[in-house]
Structure 1
Amino acid sequence: MTDGFDFSPGAQVPLSGSAGQTAATYALASAAYREDDEVTKILEADNEWHQSTVKPPRPGARIFRPKLGEAYSRAVIDRMLGAGRKPLIQSFGTEPQVVVEHCLAAHRIRRERDNWLTAVTVLCGVLFLPGFLVWLLVFQIRTTLGRRTDRSAGALATTLLVAVGALAVIFLIRMPFSGFWGWYARASVVMPVVGWFWAKQICERTAKDLRERWDSLLAGGGLGAKIPEAVPGHPGDAAEQLRKELTRLSAEQRSNSVFYAGPKGILGMGTRWGSWQLAEDLVSAEPGKDFHPFRSWDLITAIQGDLAMLERTSINTGGFPKPSITHWIVTPIGEKAKEVSRPSGTDVDAYTIKTHAIQDICNKQQFGSGDRHYLGVQWTLWDGQLVITMLITVTVLHDTLRIEVTGHALGPVNSLFTTKPEPKEKEVAKTVKFWETHKVRLPLVDADEVVRLAARAPLTSYPPFLNWLGGSLTLPEPFGLRHAWADQPWRHRFMADDALRAATPVLRVVHAAAIRVLRDHGVDVEAFGTRSTFLSTQVQDPTPKKADVYDA
């Protein structure tokens, strides 16, 4: 099976970063390194249209549960690079390949840690299984007690651990066995404790590395993703397939095919907040004569040329940055659809629909079923946190020309992803001046976390079984990194202003270009000019609407 990609340049190491889109990209990538939060924390970042699913651990197997970073990186890798995966939604304002690279890097760091922990578990646990199981049971009971909300739970959990430790010491002193079994029993008590201290050093070292990368990304991305497994050693190895999937991911990101899902709007662009329509009859400017025929594509081409000049202004005030202008083919899907299907065939090259097919859709598919054509002008602002898209479509039915301009806005990623790591500290009373307090730094990994990581480590080589036992994260579908966790821009005053201000210049440029083309083809433009003036007044309304939610 061929997919239209050329891999002839050979092995290349993917590079991270993209100018102007780093904040949203690095915020999403930083979640791969998070170790402090439970996986259910990500449910707080879901918006009203896209909800993740967290599968809880099986009864009595909570010790095998993943944390947020582990579950997130594993879910993103499987969803975006897995064999036979479903098509993805474009992540406007971000570089999804960079996010996936950091998920791969975080997964590699944890895999190295788990390899060491597995060796420790085998040497100090499996070889001394009776004592290991007893200590594991004690920590499991302690964790269960610690989850209780009453104030005595913490003290009870600590008392349990101290009591078991005392019993272990008594057992060592008054050993009921002798000979080989006596020494084995002593080792079964001591070696799991030695292994715990060894594992703690490994976990602390890894946690420090992960937190540094987490903090570095949110500070501007100082540390890059290291994924040597993406460099093939020979044709046909796993790295070649990984590099191929990363290239496929980039090709999907560049696709000009998007999907309209009812009230959800165009997936990846955000909901539609405004709509302005210019619709009038086509009448010849000279009575008794026909105007020169034209097609929708002729109008679109003229509009496209004028939109490219939006960054130019007669007054030096900064104004618009250079926009991205794209011809989009929009496919309708159901509001509750769980997957999309990208077009294929001779008119598609690497997920991008060719120009002649776009032109054909623009001129002919204006009524009834089928895909529709939109000309889009898009700005990525606020370092990738705000994506403003204005879409223009032209239709001609009978003698009526309709030009529609719609506004779409995709807001910043949820604040969960922009939260920096906090130092592990607690306030305690001073020894002498007991009425004063000071902060004491705590270890990055506590006792329960060391046990959890050591217990999970041997099973990480079998992800399906570990997911069945400890639970997993399922990403919202149809999945795209950016829109899945995007907030509304209207909560941010300046972002809302930017989205609203873009509408008027775009609308006027579209109308001016259309009227010029109509006049050149001998069409009476008086009615169009009057209607355009009315719409220019209407667009001054500063209130965004839910234009995709029809009140019918």
Structure 2
Amino acid sequence: MDGFDFSPGAQIPLQGSGGQAVATNALASAAYRDSDVTEILKANSEWHKSEVKAGSSKLFKSEYFKPNLGEAFCRAVQDRMLGGGRGALIQSFGLDPQTVVEHCLSASGLRRARDRKLTLVTVLFGVLFLPGFLLWVLVFRLRDSFNKSKDVAFRSLGTILLLVVAGLAVAFLVVMPLTGLIALYLRAAVVAPVLGWLLAKRIAESSAKDMRVRWEGLLSGSGVIAKIPEAAPKNPNETAREALRQGLEKLSAEQQSNSVFYAGPKGILGMGTRWGSWQLAEELVSADPAKEIHQFRSWDVVRAIHDQLKLLERGPLNTGGFTAPSVKHWIVSPVGEDAGSVSRPEGEDVATFQIKPHEIQRICNHQQFGSGDRHYLGVQFTLWEGQLVLTMLITVTVLHETLRIEVTGHALGPVHPLFLTKPAGRTKTVKKAVRFWETRSISLPLVKAEEVVRLALRAPLTWYPPLLEYFGGKIVLPEPFGLRHAWAAKPWGHRFMADDAMRTAAPVLRVVHSAAMQVLKEHGVDTERFNSRSMALSGAVQEAAPKKADVYDA
């Protein structure tokens, strides 16, 4: 930690706000999932791609050390968002990233409790009877190798091998030529791993059911609470808990930052790509040729637009209309399209990730041409319970005698459907005993035999996660990383979401122009040309055709 405390005291943050529940819970549910880790690759977008990195160890390289999706997701998110010396994060508009991280911490805690039990079972029934333990692990490993074959007959060899070894084990117990303590030990070495496997299976099955209840509950909206007692230190000496608490507070503070990053064709990171752009640029001419224009600055126009945008939710008719928007001043920093990281502004003009008002005003008035950050006024709507984030950005520039007012539309689509899938039980279709021409579906245990072996082998190593990553691999998150934009789908495939995006543009554009015209009139500017141009744009904005406005055909 950097030593700065962002909060008044130890607190357990509340769950995400109701308006962002779906997107927040969808990503939080990934912490409890037990599917294959490579499933995360299905959620990759055109711009942001996760990777699944295999383990580096060649000696222990095995499927038994490979993490599942929930294990790898929790580890990756916790390290990236709470780890010491972490880089800047992209804001997650439309969801509460702290809630997602809390669920990752909660899921990791549940797995640690399970792994402590499995470690005890592994030591008592495996390590103490190592010869038999290694034999059974080898048999399961060979069976898994056979099961990967595309040939049905070859796959059946795995089951036959297991049955043969089980038969030989029984024969070995009966006709063992040795006597004494060594005979008792060898008999126990054959039986103990099997008993340990049965006990481990019960522990794993109970844990899997608990995890799936939480997974299902998050997606059903039943209010699953993340339990993280380690985030509330009880005394000043609990440095680990205090560091975790401050990490969560720092995460919330950065989420509220008014600094964002423009990455070329990727658009503004966290807000989505720019789908539309409308520009009003005309010459500043005095309304009275005998008088000069009363002096004004870009900030005067922006402030008037800001005040009018606050009233967007009000309308002349009682027909619903806009929800309350978030109107905020943004400082946009340019970064490369392929930038691997970003850095937030620092210095005396920044406090807790917030650029101070006087610096915002200075950038608005003076940094309009050449290098440096730029000022944008944004009006943002979070819709569909966080699944759709619409942002309209307004920038005002004055170069020589030309005033330019630019309005751009950005849309961040729903969380990828992968995160919205609910848990499905394992079933098998079999023929009926009497009516053999009919079939029926039977339920299977949630945890497969090889999954029990995997959990038992991984459990003793979970005290040091980097070692497990070395053996089994991990998820590599896309950079620059933000929970929301990393796994967002395009909104244009959903008819109503697309309609909402395009319906937003016209009212916002007209409010912006109306407020600007009022300021120009007050300062003695001839608004005839501005009005004509505004009417032309008012017609153009009604075209229902989103474009890739950040991709220039040049």
Query: TM-score, structure 2 length as denominator?
Result: 0.98
**Cross-structure match for 2:515:** 513
For residues 234 and 158 of structure 2, the distance between their equivalents in structure 1, rounded to whole angstroms, comes to: 51
Stretches (4+) displaced over 6 A? none
Q: Aligned with 2:19: secondary structure?
A: coil
Unaligned runs of 5+ in 2: none
CA 484–146 in structure 1, closer or farther in 2 if over 3 Å, else same:
same
CA displacement, residues 446-479 of structure 1 (integer Å, 9 cap, x when unaligned):
1110001101111111211110111111111000
Percent of residue pairs identical: 64
Paired letter, 1:487: A
Q: 2:13 corresponds to which letter in structure 1?
A: P
Aligned to 2:314: 312
The 2-side partners of 1:259 and 1:548 are apart by 14
Partner deviation per Cα, 1:324-376 (whole Å, 9 max, x = no partner): 00100000001111111011111111001110110000000000000000000
- Counterpart residue identity of residue 43, structure 1: L
Contact 2:16/2:95 (CA < 8 Å) preserved in 1? no
* 8 Å contact kept, 1:3–1:350: no
Aligned to 1:18: 17
User: Residue 6 of structure 1: CA displacement?
Assistant: 4.3
Q: 1:121 and 2:119 equivalent? A: no
Please give the secondary structure, in 2, of the residue aligned with 1:326. Answer: strand
How far apart, in 1, do the equivalents of 2:479 and 2:108 lie? 23
Distance change >3 Å, CA 236–CA 511, structure 1 → 2: farther
Aligned equivalent of 1:220 = 221
Aligned to 2:469: 467
Match of 1:27 in 2: 26
SS at match of 1:421: coil
Aligned-pair CA distance for 1:12: 2.1
Aligned equivalent of 2:241, options 239, 242, 257: 239
Answer whether contact 2:271 2:412 (CA < 8 A) is retained. Answer: yes
Q: Map of 1:418-457 to 2, 5 A cutoff?
A: 418-457=420-459
> Cα distance 1:3–1:359, how it changes in 2: closer, same or farther (>3 A)?
farther
Q: Judging changes above 3 Å, is the alpha-carbon distance between structure 1 residues 236 and 340 closer, same or farther for their aligned structure 2 residues?
A: farther
Which of 297, 300, 311 aligns to 1:298? It is 300
Pairing partner for 1:265 from 250, 253, 267:
267
Shift of 1:4: 4.3
- Residue type of the alignment partner of 1:371: D
- Listed as ranges, the matches of 1:29-428 within 5 Å are 29-35=28-34, 37-57=35-55, 58-59=57-58, 60-237=61-238, 238-428=240-430
Distance in 1 (alpha carbons) for counterparts of 2:161 and 2:528 = 87
1:240-295 residue CA offsets vs partner (Å, 9 max, x unmatched)? 11010000000010000000000000000000000000000100000131010100
Conservation of the 8 A alpha-carbon contact between 1:12 and 1:231: yes
Separation in structure 2 between the aligned mates of residue 245 and residue 65 of structure 1, nearest angstrom:
28
Cα distance in 1 for residues equivalent to 2:389 and 2:253: 20
Cα deviation, residue 236, structure 1: 4.2
Are the aligned partners of 2:23 and 2:94 in contact in 1 as well (CA < 8 Å)? yes
- Distance in 1 separating the partners of 2:526 and 2:433: 90
Tell me the distance in 2 between the aligned counterparts of 1:192 and 1:538: 74
Aligned partner letter, 1:305: D
> How far 1:3 sits from its partner (Å)?
5.4
Q: CA RMSD in A?
A: 1.0
Report if the CA contact (8 A) 2:381-2:389 is conserved: yes
Structure 1 partner of 2:525? 523
Contact 2:6 2:352 in 1 (8 A): no
CA shift, 1:151, in A, is 1.6
Deviations for 1:97-141, whole angstroms, at most 9, x for unmatched residues? 000000001000111111111110000000000000010011111
**Contact 2:272 / 2:411 at 8 angstroms: preserved in 1?**
yes
In 1, distance between residues paired with 2:517 and 2:457? 71
Asked if 2 retains the 8 angstrom alpha-carbon contact of 1:26 and 1:221, the reply is: no
Q: Do 1:125 and 1:192's aligned partners in 2 also have CA atoms closer than 8 Å? A: yes
CA-to-aligned-CA distance 1:28-62 (integer Å, 9 cap, x gap): 00011001x21111001010100011112455422
Q: How many angstroms apart in 1 are the aligned matches of 2:473 and 2:2? A: 36
Which secondary structure does the structure 2 equivalent of 1:20 belong to?
Answer: helix
CA contact 1:257–1:329 (8 Å) conserved in 2: yes
Stretch deviating more after TM superposition (272-281 or 462-471): 462-471
Is this contact kept in 1: 2:66–2:472, CA < 8 A? Answer: yes
Question: Aligned letter for 2:339?
Answer: A
Distance 2:219 2:81 in 1: 23
Aligned partners of 2:54, 2:2: CA distance in 1, in Å? 39
CA distance in 2, matches of 1:367, 1:55: 43
* Corresponding residue SS for 2:415: coil
Quote the Cα distance in structure 2 between the aligned partners of 1:23 and 1:3.
34
- The separation in 2 between residues aligned to 1:87 and 1:444, in whole angstroms, is 39
Aligned amino acid, residue 446 of structure 1: K
Contact in 2 for aligned 1:81/1:246 (Cα 8 Å): yes
SS at match of 2:515: helix
Conserved in 1, the CA contact under 8 Å of 2:6 and 2:253?
Answer: no
Aligned equivalents of 1:549, 1:487: Cα separation in 2: 18
Q: Deviations over 1:178-225 (max 9, x none)?
A: 111100100100000000000000000000000000000000142211
Distance 2:16 2:88 in 1: 23
Distance 2:4 2:114 in 1: 38
Moved more, 115-124 or 216-225: 216-225
Offset from partner CA, 1:49-78 (integer Å, 9 cap, x none) = 000111124554221100011100111111
Partner AA of 1:69 in structure 2: G
Per-residue deviation at 1:422? 0.8
Question: 1:533 — aligned with what?
Answer: 535
Tell whether the 8 Å contact from 2:271 to 2:410 is kept in structure 1 after alignment. yes
Mapped to 2, the partners of 1:2 and 1:186 lie a distance apart of 58
Q: Which residue of 2 aligns with 1:484?
A: 486
The more displaced of 95-104 and 224-233 is: 224-233
- Give me the whole-angstrom Cα distance separating, in 1, the residues matched to 2:377 and 2:123: 61
Secondary structure at the aligned position of 2:340 is classed as: coil
Answer yes or no: is the 8 Å Cα contact 2:6–2:250 preserved in 1.
no
Once residues 173 and 534 of structure 1 are traced to their aligned partners in structure 2, the CA distance between those partners, rounded to angstroms, is 95
SS at match of 1:366: coil
CA contact (8 A) 1:70 1:107 kept: yes
Q: 2 CA distance for matches of 1:221 and 1:371?
A: 44
| Alpha-carbon distance in 1 for matches of 2:462, 2:152 | 35
What letter matches 1:55 in structure 2? Answer: K
SS at match of 2:260: strand
Q: CA deviation at 1:164?
A: 0.7
> How far off its partner does 1:154 sit?
3.2
Once the 2 structures are TM-superposed, how far is the Cα of residue 8 of structure 1 from its aligned partner? 3.7
CA distance in 1, matches of 2:225, 2:330: 33
Task: Give the residue type in structure 2 aligned to 1:315.
Answer: L
